[in-house]
Structure 1
Amino acid sequence: MSVPTSAAQAAANRQDWKWQQRNTLDTPHALATRFPGLATSAQFGNLAQNLGTRKLGLTPYLAGLIRTDARGCPLPDDPIWLQVVPVGPGEGDAAFAYDGQAENWELAEEMVTPICQHKYDNRVILRCANVCHAYCQFCYEALRTLETVSAKPGLKKSEWRQTLDYIGTHPQVEEVILSGGEPLMLSDTRLGELLGSLRQVRASLLLRLHTRALSFNPFRITDELVQLLASGGVHAVGLHIAHPREITEQFCDAVARLQSKVALLFANIPLLAGINDDYECMKALCMRLYGLGVLPHYLYQFMPFSPGAQRYRTPISTGVAIVSRMKRRLSNLAVPEYVVPHRNGKFSVPLGLNQPATQLTHDAEGNETLVFTNWQGRPCVYPE
């Protein structure tokens, strides 16, 4: 890590997104150096063991949001710490646990190229990067981002050209979603090239980008990037966020920059046990977002067979209870749609369960199970 020549230079460094990434905390030693007392805490053993197979990454900005005790050790229940540092127990052999073998969101027939998924009729999602500003330990793209060695291909020119050809020959594709990993880990130059090539395929394409940069490294949202998004025709940006403490002054500044050039900002929120699975927390998060002009769009039930299943998974009934209580008590635009992300497509959970087409029941082992009919009219069991 370079030593700043002055306090002013140090402050300037910390507001440079590339400096943040260069100084990411990515080892147990780096964490123990940043957080005195961690190495002698009960958390450290699990952390060191889990990092044998799991990636770690915290920007200095994100580390600064984590609350600590008098010794400088992160509080075990801090909602930022819990999201990005694997301090919980291993996956074990519990039902729905992650096995490190397959992504349960992707079906082989949907991957029309190695980086392009065509699940829904009028849109495709492009996996533009295998890296992130920091690593959510519950990511359902674990084989792309959380595994120490990625099992998924990165962005290659040949596969990008193949993807452009697919979009160009399928006029039913009206929208392209840039995701990852984290698409904003790409340089402005590279991102501009991708947007420009998509525009050349069909000028009418709607372009959307999903990011967690505003929580993890808000300095990435520069004036230059915002202008690039505008010139590239990006019409919507989806922000991934889980807790109201992520909404800082820097987060708000990044939102305002994006709003100056991007027509629509919305938020996707994962429902996580011990982090945001209560009414007051969700109310605070959604109302803050709504007040900033960011629509809380989806509240995602935790996906089974993803990392951290034992740590993060909540009952579906918990999500239903939270959103049901929000309805009519909060501004309706601040109430997210509660969805189950299923390998056959998202399902909007009705707030009145046990309707004819939706049954909340339990399997032979007592695990909560949702039986429903999906958007294609196909019967589904969640989880399978």
Structure 2
Amino acid sequence: MISKVKDCFNASNEEFSDWNWQYRHRITTVEELEKLIPLSEPEKEDIRKALEVFPMAISPYYASLIDPEDPGCPIRMQAVPLLAELQKSSWELEDPLCEDSDSPSEESCITHRYPDRVLFLISNRCGMYCRHCTRKRRVGNREYDYSEKVIREGIEYVREHPEVRDVLLSGGDALLVSDERLDWLLRELFDIPHVEIVRIGTRAPVTLPQRITPELCEILGKYPSVWLNTHFNHPKEITPEAKKAMNMLSRAGIPLGNQSVLLRGVNDCPTIIKKLCHELLRIKTRPYYLYQCDLSFGLEHFRTSVARGIEIIEMLRGHTSGLAVPTFVVDAPGGGGKIPVGPNYLISNSDNGVTLRNYEGVICMYSEPAEYSAVCPQKCSICDKHPGLKSDTGLAKLYDEENDIISLEPEGLERKLRF
């Protein structure tokens, strides 16, 4: 298929290996697409209708991975629009994760949800418009990098909030900005004393692996603690080109993680997920999260039951190494953040011990110590200097003896308003 794509674009090997060429020649129309894969007239009409709402952009490289004879090809399903994207359910939302609500302003590139970290959007561009994208409200209709003014305002927000130790650069795709812009931004962020790590969220190694260049790796490698999370969803995406990109990053000293989305018809199978996780480890990439598909508009046909995700984790835990088992999470609607869900291995507990089961169904008793009280070792001075570590957020309030709190209640609780 790769030869067919090169011939279709009349591209030399040098051009095909250039990420800027790949980006400029993304497939955006039905006419371009049908040169690569057979499309019936009804299929073409359905795609055109879908494109009226959600644009299409497929890098020539990623298009070369599509099996033209398989309508259910997992690569095709992630790249080619379907009429199903226009079927909106009542529970689907434009911004299901309430990222905009957790921003300082409508113009801000910052989302500050968790206590010690922020999401920092720096680009609205992508190497490919994934059909399952949770940010369709932002991505696709207009492509741009955030202006220097907006980026500087984001930097100042981080500077003014000393509790922020972790910054996640995302988009769009955080690696679609220029080397110069990324270098400048990383330098600015690491000049802030309380910023400990910067994470980069990107799908470039999957859809545009040519973007991973020696120059980019040199930039990322010179900063003290840059981490990179990418987004492989299926073993077919781990190609020689993708492997080369990930190996370049790992040789530059960049810790690598992967965040997959559970997608109906693409990877909702224990065997596929297991193979994917094994292939990821072979390229020194930790399977980090397996996401339940978000409640964004037009994604109902991609979503599975949460039970299916739990079942997949059950088929992984104990059947392969712990390194190959991602955390299955539901990113809670309304801005509740990532909630880990999985099989239950705790059967019961008592004063004497806990009853547990393992992946084989073996049940055992783990004895608790005869005498134990939860006292910080040596009356830890760290906790004294940083009380926020203990009691400032959520359930932690219940565990802090200095708080006279026995329960957490939502505002406007009906029974509290009866009398």
User: What is the TM-score when the length of structure 1 is the normalising length?
Assistant: 0.83
Q: Residue 86 of structure 1 aligns with which residue? A: 81
Aligned with 2:394 (options 363, 376, 379): 376
What are the ranges of 5 or more consecutive residues in structure 2 without an aligned counterpart?
1-5, 349-392, 396-407, 411-419
1:171-210 deviations in Å (ceiling 9; x for gaps): 1110111100101111111111111221223375311101
Q: Report the secondary structure of 1:268's partner residue.
A: strand
Rounded Cα–Cα distance in structure 1 between residues aligned with 2:16 and 2:285: 26
User: What is the TM-score when the length of structure 2 is the normalising length?
Assistant: 0.77
Aligned with 1:311 (options 287, 301, 304): 301
Q: Residue 367 of structure 1 aligns with which residue? A: none
1:265-303 deviations in Å (ceiling 9; x for gaps): 010000000000011111110111112211101000011
Aligned with 1:218 (options 205, 209, 212): 209
Q: State the Cα distance separating 1:106 from its structure 2 match.
A: 2.3
Instruction: Number of aligned residue pairs: give it.
Output: 344
Report whether the alignment pairs 1:106 with 2:101. Answer: no
> Which amino acid letter does the alignment assign opposite residue 330 of structure 1?
T
Rounded Cα–Cα distance in structure 2 between residues aligned with 1:161 and 1:30: 39
Share of identical aligned residues, percent? 28
Correspondence list, 1:211-360, <5 A:
211-304=202-295, 306-342=296-332, 343-352=335-344
Q: Report the secondary structure of 2:35's partner residue.
A: helix
Correspondence list, 1:18-33, <5 A:
18-33=20-35
Relative distance call for 1:225 and 1:210 in structure 2 (3 A) is same
Q: State the Cα distance separating 1:130 from its structure 2 match.
A: 0.8
What are the ranges of 5 or more consecutive residues in structure 1 without an aligned counterpart?
70-74, 357-374
Rounded Cα–Cα distance in structure 2 between residues aligned with 1:200 and 1:108: 27
1:99-144 deviations in Å (ceiling 9; x for gaps): xxx3111255520251011111111111111110001111111111
Report whether the alignment pairs 1:145 with 2:135. Answer: no
Rounded Cα–Cα distance in structure 2 between residues aligned with 1:379 and 1:310: 33
CA contact (8 A) 1:124 1:176 kept: yes
Q: State the Cα distance separating 1:53 from its structure 2 match.
A: 1.1
Q: Which has the larger radius of gyration?
A: 2
CA RMSD of aligned residues (A): 2.6
Relative distance call for 1:355 and 1:77 in structure 2 (3 A) is farther
CA contact (8 A) 1:207 1:233 kept: no
Q: Residue 44 of structure 1 aligns with which residue? A: 44
CA contact (8 A) 1:339 1:349 kept: yes
Q: Which moved more, 1:206-215 or 1:81-90?
A: 81-90
Rounded Cα–Cα distance in structure 2 between residues aligned with 1:77 and 1:41: 18
Q: Report the secondary structure of 1:103's partner residue.
A: coil
1:210-245 deviations in Å (ceiling 9; x for gaps): 110011010100000000111244521001111100
Rounded Cα–Cα distance in structure 1 between residues aligned with 2:128 and 2:237: 13
Q: Report the secondary structure of 1:258's partner residue.
A: helix
Report whether the alignment pairs 1:116 with 2:110. Answer: yes
Q: Residue 17 of structure 2 aligns with which residue? A: 15
Relative distance call for 1:45 and 1:118 in structure 2 (3 A) is same
Relative distance call for 1:274 and 1:12 in structure 2 (3 A) is same
Q: Which moved more, 1:82-91 or 1:119-128?
A: 82-91
Q: State the Cα distance separating 1:59 from its structure 2 match.
A: 0.8
Q: Residue 365 of structure 1 aligns with which residue? A: none
Q: State the Cα distance separating 1:149 from its structure 2 match.
A: 4.6
